[in-house]
Structure 1
Amino acid sequence: MWFTKSSKDVLKELNVSSETGLSTEEVKNRLDKYGPNKLKGKPKKSLLQLFLAQLQDMLIYVLIGAAVINIVAHGKDGIADALIILAVVLINAIVGVVQESKAEKALEALQQMTTPKSLVRRNGEVIEVNSEELVPGDILIIDAGRFIPADVRLIESANLQIEESALTGESVPSEKDANFITADAKIPIGDKENMAFMSTMATYGRGEGVVVETGMNTEIGKIAQILDEDNNTLTPLQIKLEELGKILGYGAMVICGIIFVIGLIQGRGVVDMFMTAISLAVAAIPEGLVAIVAIVLSLGVKTMSKKNAIVRKLPAVETLGAVNIVCSDKTGTLTQNKMTVLKTYTLDNLRDISSQNGQKANADETELIRSFVLCSDASVENGQDIGDPTEVALIVLGNKFDLEKNALNAKYKRVSENPFDSDRKLMSTLNEEGGKYRVHTKGAIDNILTRANKILVNGEILPLTEEEKNKILKVAEEMSDDALRVLGVAFKDVDSQISPEEMEKDLVVVGIVGMIDPPRTEVKDSIVEAKKAGITPIMITGDHKNTAVAIAKELGIATDISQSLTGAEIDEIPDDKFAKEVNKYRVFARVSPEHKVKIVKAFKEQGNIVSMTGDGVNDAPSLKFADIGVAMGITGTDVSKGASDMILTDDNFTTIIHAIEEGRNIFNNIKKTIIFLLSCNLGEVLCVFIATLFGWAIPLVATQLLWVNLITDTLPAISLGMDPGDKEVMARKPRNPKESFFSEGAGMRSIVGGVLIGILTLVAFYLGIIHSGNISISLVKENNSATREILTYGRTMAFIVLTFSQLFYSLSMRNSKKTIFEVGFFGNKFLIGSIVIGIVLQIGLTSIPSIAQMFKVTAIDSSHWGMVIGLSLVPFVVNEIIKVISRRRND
């Protein structure tokens, strides 16, 4: 029971030093001993379980039953049909297993990418590692916004608060104290003040601790029931498709029922009609829609991850294509996140230090830089920057003037602090100085001036006058106008330790620094692209208005300062008025997390689909409230990542635009896949229905229908879902999220395509009968031995045309507006491969006598291949002509 022991005893028991941490070799040994730091998930389904799951479908049961009935009714003659039916069922199940395992692997890879990182001290250095690599004895660095990755005995804490609702149910964060020890071994988890537990979250302050338990040995690991939850939920798009599939399925079943009844009335064989109706139902019902969409989504997400955008929730992919407002933080997203101090200012002493190294600072400048360095948590070790870029810039500033952080920390030990808070916009530390103490406070200069009553001038502490305040504010404004970020610093001496609340009163202001974070070079082009795509970029920042507007103007986000608002100005505007006027503004400066929520809400009330970026603990509400919450992968806290829909691994605005483009293309691919499948299924149903209605012989037997379904509903459909992106997709306005799949003429195209496929299949059937037997189609009957060969020939023609027309038609589905000549025949190599495979299999099936006999087809005359190809190309050609005509009409 680690909480009953002192931190010294715990460190001794775990054989680790808090100053150096574990060595790399020791970490490896302990990882072998204790295993990875992760909870055991639900056991993965075996291939056999996945295979059996594919068979758990009512239509599959009916098909298997139909195969048995066929054998019973037809004896030896029915065995071939039964074997084909069972083979189709088997192949469909195998394809389903492959599809599901591929989607599962893609999602597993994405989950691996979103594994939380942890800061640990190893080999005497602070490094970032995957949380799964933690071992007992690791020295963990804890700061606000990070999830606790293991059970930890705290060895140091500074105003540390941890939200433990995952374990205790208490929504109020628990205050932690590393010095707390109790002899009571039965105290509840919420009272263990010297412990931090896995899956909880640091919300305030900072601390250090030693990992004592990992993986299933943690408190959360003991709650085994949470692992039984099934988190495989469908996205809204998949739910919508499932509903569409059910409607189409019921419709197909009704039509198949009608065909069956009409067939019986006409005196056709019961078993044959039953087989035809069932096979047609299997072919007509788009049962693979949801599965194909899952594959397209997961593959699209995998592609996006390679472009630095990790999608945490699949619905985000659907929403991305509809985004028309992108609210972005300035620092690191629109800028390079490499802050550099260019200017320092103490009273009446403005200095440009951009190109100065080894220069001597006067007394006031030395105090200014010293306070900044001591009041920073960042570090620069072995050329690696660790911490907030603004603080890193201050550490680099100290190095320039020989005020190195580690040396200052050793000389002036930090004993307490008041961590940075986005509402106060300040951070303070309390450092010991020769038996006394000094407070160092850094942050927004206007906030510091409201808390200061003295000023440092030439080494002397004097009363702060209004004139001096105005001088400082004027210089700060000039720096802001030059797009510099302004940070102020102050101090005060005290005789004894004081509470964090007392630190920021009666301060002695020292001065300010101006630093710049240059705009990313590629962002300007991305903003131009976004505007062309109907997307409005919005800058939201905590910086001063002038600084923000200067960067916004340079990037093309805003044209003048009238398009900007500060947080204080937002507070003065009533909510209803702000919502009506929000579209006028492009820059929001000096905002708090509460303002961000208000801004997002206002944009959404105007009917916009809003994306919002964030990196801090307090950004979580706005990230959740936005349609797409985007967390920073580099500077973002675990809290912001947990609340987000997408994580940027490079913290770059351009990546957001690329993700939106990818989202649009993924949705378009899903849409074209749906329209293609519905057109093909409609053609199959229409062909059999019309033939039955006119009293003709059925143009396609059950096994042929199942074969067509297998050839066209798998590879070509999935290949369409993997179609390369349309280069002009960002030249169009965002998609209306409420629009139907059948908008923009897609519904009419699916009907036209389906009708053409169905009618041309019947035409091929008719021509095959006429050309092979010179007999009226109405005289050709299934139970007539004299016309059996003629019927087989006609069915072969229909069979080939139905298959080929669907394969060729898939080429036309690649783009709803451009012809295949504009898109390029070989732009989608997967689709070309699918078509070639389909054609080769179809030719082999009709040309190899033993297989042809099983499928009740025969080889056709070479003179008829031209007729078959010609008929098969008609739906493709008509669809291409419709594109040209509709485009000319719109022009």
Structure 2
Amino acid sequence: MVGQRNDQSHPGQDAPTQDRNPQQALLHDTDPSLTDAAEVAAALGVDPAKGLTSEEAKRRLEKFGPNELAQAAPVPKWKKFLAQFKDPLVYLLLAATAISLVAWFIEKANAAPGAEGGEALPFDAIVIVLILIVNAVLGYIQEAKAEAAVEALAQMTAPTTSVLRDGKITRINTTEVVPGDVIVLGEGDSVSADGRLFAAASLRIAEASLTGESVPVGKKPDTLAEAKALGDRANMVFNGTSVTQGTGRAIVTGTGMNTQVGKIADLLSATEDEKTPLQKEMDYVSKILGVAVCIIAVIVLVALAVLEGFHDIHDVIDSLLLAVSLAVAAVPEGLAAILTVVLALGVQRMAMHHAIVKKLHSVETLGSASVICSDKTGTLTRNEMTVERVVTPSGEVALTGTGYAPEGRMVGVNGAQLEGAEALKNEALATLAVGALANDGDLRQGAQAGSWEIVGDPTEVALIVAARKTHADRRLSQFHRVAEVPFTSERKRMSIIARDEAEGGLLTVFAKGAPDVLLGYCDRISVGGAVRPLTDGDRQDILATVERLSGEAYRTLGQAYRPLETARLSEVPGIRANAAGEVSDIADQAEVIERGLIWTGIVGIIDPPRTEVRDSVAEAHRAGIRTVMITGDHPLTASRIASDLGIIEPSGAALTGDQLDQLAAQGDQAFDQATAKTSVYARVAPEHKLRIVESLQRQGNIVAMTGDGVNDAPAVKTADIGVAMGITGTEVTKQSAKMILADDNFATIVAAVREGRVIFDNIRKFLRYLLSSNVGEVFTVFFGVVLAGFLGITQPGSQGVTVPLLATQLLWINLLTDAAPALAMGVDPQTEDVMNRRPRRLTDRVIDRQMWGDIIYIGLIMAIVTLIGMDMHLTGGLFTDRSVDALGHEAQMTEARTMGFTILVFAQLFNAIASRSHLQSAFVGLFSNKWLWGAIGVSIVLQLIVIYVPFLNSAFGTTPLSAVAWLECIGLAAFVLVASELRKLVLRVMAKRR
């Protein structure tokens, strides 16, 4: 069993340690929380600095199994196959088989000696059994394909874990984590196994799923002095929890069922998969049809018993077979399997377009989305930060080129040449050089020609790219970093100290940060190659420039430097050093290092909007879907990007997090009024996202919400359609989401909504087709019995019930016309108006009154043309007797049934063409679905076989038809298409008049 324990030892038994799972050996002999981390590493045979080798990890994975909880034993294939027979309809058909066998035996027993006792074999019973088997095989194959599709998607969304292997950090599938692995934890990661911490920095982990503690727990690697409860083991991390802050490294001490989660896994009762809303509605429809047919059957049987009476056992059997025929005609046997397959195929198509839907039923919700709440960075924009502006005391320049390719040049703001502006160019180059030096990022040539890979923060890499574009990086190689004061969210700046080898090893401070913050540490400014004191006027000008650039959607960073005029850090005035002259705590002396800086300029960085997003926003708007931007950026930046993308008008403004807090204090009504009108939110915190989603849902919206960080998970989970970023998203967010964007692109969300609508439209198409076809069969049987004398179906001298169509014929029709055309309609191309309609409400019925009207109308037409075709070949009906002289009663009934059988098959094929739209003519895009025409072709061939193969004639009660009869069949069946077109024409005219 997957995930089960692999050793056979039990507590109290002595087993060689080398033959036992190391995690079990450790847990059996010691408590990792009470053991020094070095001893834990030694016990598990791992070097914490390098991790396991790939070969050792592979060996342990093979020996101890995947890191996953024990799963229920897979259902054997034979049980899955037999499950296809667990259906009330199948029981009914088996009852029909038994009745047919009884009737056959009675006929054989009552036959006169030497005379033929009816049919040589019980063909009705044989055919019903064979068709049941074929149906079961088809259902089994369809379900297997659907399961395979879902499994493939599960693999695409499988969680991953960062581990240290062969001395390098690598990302692996969580199931491949083994005892002794060193897992590397960061904010937003899910903890994939139990482990002993040996390194942690500000690490906090949410353990509510395991301990019930709602507040994240601080973690430290210190060894505990005594055994403590699970929630107090600060040096341990546990499977199933999530990192909310900081970083850490831990040695895996337990995987799979040997984790704390695994210990309680056996206590969890297995739950059955919940049926989707569509499946529930289909069950409801089937029950309604079944009840209706049972009522009809009872009425018919009672009427026959009262009016004609049952003269012998044959009358009773015929009457029961009539009831079975009605039931067979009413319910489409393969509906559930077809529905599952169509949904699975749709989900696969979405995955091909980078939208990974984790559960099939989410497809239904997707097509109903009315609001899409999206983050800005990476989703609406390219997430490729680009320096476009450099502002210095002498003026402003622009840089061409976008993205991380270092291709571009320095030009004037309006694209003009910078001839003669040497002071401005030199100041711009100096500003870019400072940004490239005060930097922890890196830009590398990609594996493919012309591609580039970034390492580190995209904003920092953008500064490196800008320096390379302008060749401002030519002198950087002469500087060597000796110390760093890192960036923090509280400091909003970073500084490095570099040694200038070209200037005798003198030290210089290079700093960058938020302009308003960094400006406070500057007292001088570099202008035209000279340094002078920074005046209040200079400060006002710089801050005004920052405000202007922010209004133009730029993120601004100030750049400054300071020569320390010494080659030894310990000689800098104010610096604390030890007796040996070493400075080990430079980060704690930032105030000394960063004072007296010289201002050089500002860079304006922008994350360019994705070119395809504007069209997607417009498409969403046409579809009645509102797009909402929620970002932590500056309000002016958010409004500018939203305006460029068409989310708001150019004059529109953003609502900030502070304003949302004020509205929330006034109550839900004030908050809802604001969210009903506002489409851009800036400077918001994660809790604001959750409030916005809940507010929109209170207004009756179906909300899609994107997220990437761990703090986004509550909003993503609360939304009707939680969407996680596949590239930048954390594991916690991915697990909370119903859909994952493999490309982090807003356009993919809109494409997924479009696909969801197409899938839902196609489901309605094949439901209209299936149910109208089955209702046509019910009406044919019902009216064929009720109006038997009027139509000539009951012949003079005959007794009992004469069923218009045999149960085997109805089964063949359902098998023939249900599966292939319905599946083909499930992949019907999208219609032109799919994104020109308002979103569907989840409360709307899949089969509404309008569709029921189509179903009953087409069902009646089918029954009428079928019974007319039969009447034309029977004595005593409305039309001329065609076969009275040439055929006897039994042969005449066989020919009439063959006519009705064939007409009904072709009527349903014409119905497949007509059912593709409620209003649009079937001749619009007639040949756009090649699969449908292929399915129709296969159905025609099979119908020819059942009519012209002799042994099938006996099995299905058919006889070969003449050329004239074929013309009659096709002509009458085509009237279904004609009648449908007339109804659509009337409905279109009525719609225009409204």
1:665 partnered with 2:764: no
State which of 150, 156, 163 in structure 2 corresponds to 1:113: 156
SS at the partner of 1:562?
Answer: coil
How big is the shift at 1:592? 1.7
Scaled by the length of structure 1, what TM-score is found? 0.86
How big is the shift at 1:359? 9.0
Measured in 1, the distance between the counterparts of 2:602 and 2:271 equals 54
State which of 542, 555, 562 in structure 2 corresponds to 1:485: 555
How big is the shift at 1:201? 0.7
Structure 2 partner of 1:151: 194
State which of 844, 856, 862 in structure 1 corresponds to 2:957: 856
Report the residue type matching 1:308 in the other structure. H
Structure 2 partner of 1:734: 839
1:555 partnered with 2:625: no
Report the residue type matching 1:558 in the other structure. I
Residues 819-874 of structure 1, C-alpha deviations (whole Å, 9 max, x = no match): 2321122x223322222222211221121222111212211222111000111111
Structure 2 partner of 1:65: 95
1:698 partnered with 2:800: no
1:200 partnered with 2:236: no
Structure 2 partner of 1:337: 383
Report the residue type matching 1:64 in the other structure. L
Q: Equivalences for 1:587-598 in 2 at 5 Å?
A: 587-598=680-691
CA contact (8 A) 1:140 1:209 kept: yes
Structure 2 partner of 1:835: 936
Deviates more, 1:227-236 or 1:464-473: 464-473
Structure 1 partner of 2:985: 884
1:41 partnered with 2:71: yes
CA contact (8 A) 1:119 1:141 kept: yes
CA contact (8 A) 1:330 1:539 kept: yes
How big is the shift at 1:277? 0.8
Structure 2 partner of 1:866: 967
- Cα pair distance change 1:740/1:654, threshold 3 Å: same
Measured in 1, the distance between the counterparts of 2:36 and 2:394 equals 52
Residues 63-86 of structure 1, C-alpha deviations (whole Å, 9 max, x = no match): 223312321232154721111111
- Cα pair distance change 1:516/1:844, threshold 3 Å: same
- Cα pair distance change 1:187/1:464, threshold 3 Å: farther
State which of 126, 131, 143 in structure 2 corresponds to 1:83: 126
1:278 partnered with 2:308: no
Report the residue type matching 1:787 in the other structure. H
How big is the shift at 1:243? 2.2
Report the residue type matching 2:705 in the other structure. M
- Cα pair distance change 1:16/1:365, threshold 3 Å: farther
CA contact (8 A) 1:481 1:546 kept: yes
Q: Equivalences for 1:768-847 in 2 at 5 Å?
A: 768-770=873-875, 787-825=889-927, 827-847=928-948
Report the residue type matching 1:661 in the other structure. R
How big is the shift at 1:634? 0.6
Higher helix share: 1
Report the residue type matching 1:692 in the other structure. V
Residues 283-338 of structure 1, C-alpha deviations (whole Å, 9 max, x = no match): 31245433322222121111101110011233321122222322221111111111
Report the residue type matching 2:291 in the other structure. Y
Q: Equivalences for 1:621-640 in 2 at 5 Å?
A: 621-640=714-733
State which of 542, 552, 570 in structure 1 corresponds to 2:660: 570
Measured in 1, the distance between the counterparts of 2:879 and 2:67 equals 77
Structure 1 partner of 2:617: 527
How big is the shift at 1:19? 4.5
State which of 263, 280, 300 in structure 1 corresponds to 2:346: 300
1:291 partnered with 2:354: no
Measured in 1, the distance between the counterparts of 2:94 and 2:589 equals 79
Gaps of at least 5 residues in structure 1 are none
Deviates more, 1:666-675 or 1:380-389: 380-389
Report the residue type matching 1:152 in the other structure. G
Measured in 1, the distance between the counterparts of 2:944 and 2:355 equals 44
Structure 1 partner of 2:454: 385
- Cα pair distance change 1:856/1:156, threshold 3 Å: same
Deviates more, 1:837-846 or 1:722-731: 722-731
- Cα pair distance change 1:440/1:306, threshold 3 Å: farther
Report the residue type matching 1:141 in the other structure. V
Structure 1 partner of 2:630: 540
Q: Equivalences for 1:751-766 in 2 at 5 Å?
A: 751-766=856-871
Report the residue type matching 2:831 in the other structure. D
1:104 partnered with 2:147: yes
CA contact (8 A) 1:523 1:555 kept: yes
State which of 56, 77, 97 in structure 1 corresponds to 2:86: 56
- Cα pair distance change 1:445/1:104, threshold 3 Å: farther
CA contact (8 A) 1:453 1:507 kept: no
- Cα pair distance change 1:102/1:443, threshold 3 Å: farther
1:191 partnered with 2:232: yes
Report the residue type matching 1:247 in the other structure. I
Deviates more, 1:595-604 or 1:109-118: 595-604
Structure 2 partner of 1:655: 748
How big is the shift at 1:47? 1.8
CA contact (8 A) 1:768 1:795 kept: no
CA contact (8 A) 2:434 2:561 kept: no
SS at the partner of 1:51?
Answer: helix
- Cα pair distance change 1:366/1:193, threshold 3 Å: farther
Measured in 2, the distance between the counterparts of 1:490 and 1:139 equals 41
- Cα pair distance change 1:503/1:484, threshold 3 Å: same
Structure 2 partner of 1:168: 211
Residues 225-273 of structure 1, C-alpha deviations (whole Å, 9 max, x = no match): 2675235211223223322322222222222222333333333611112
SS at the partner of 2:72?
Answer: coil
Residues 409-437 of structure 1, C-alpha deviations (whole Å, 9 max, x = no match): x95489x997x6xxx8x779999999xxx
Deviates more, 1:574-583 or 1:88-97: 574-583
Measured in 2, the distance between the counterparts of 1:205 and 1:698 equals 77
How big is the shift at 1:806? 0.8
- Higher Cα Rg: structure 1 or 2? 2
Structure 2 partner of 1:130: 173
Measured in 1, the distance between the counterparts of 2:34 and 2:498 equals 34
Measured in 2, the distance between the counterparts of 1:381 and 1:138 equals 31
How big is the shift at 1:15? 4.8
1:264 partnered with 2:305: yes
- Cα pair distance change 1:402/1:239, threshold 3 Å: farther
Report the residue type matching 1:476 in the other structure. V
State which of 767, 770, 777 in structure 2 corresponds to 1:674: 767
Measured in 1, the distance between the counterparts of 2:46 and 2:558 equals 40
- Cα pair distance change 1:403/1:193, threshold 3 Å: farther
Report the residue type matching 1:70 in the other structure. S
How big is the shift at 1:3? 3.2
How big is the shift at 1:713? 2.5
CA contact (8 A) 2:392 2:427 kept: no
Report the residue type matching 1:241 in the other structure. M
How big is the shift at 1:106? 0.9
Measured in 2, the distance between the counterparts of 1:724 and 1:199 equals 42
Structure 2 partner of 1:254: 295
Among all aligned residue pairs of Structure 1 and Structure 2, give the percentage whose two residues are the same amino acid. 40
State which of 365, 376, 383 in structure 2 corresponds to 1:319: 365
How big is the shift at 1:202? 0.7
Deviates more, 1:502-511 or 1:96-105: 502-511
Structure 1 partner of 2:8: none
How big is the shift at 1:875? 0.9
Report the residue type matching 2:170 in the other structure. I
Report the residue type matching 1:260 in the other structure. L
Measured in 2, the distance between the counterparts of 1:8 and 1:430 equals 35
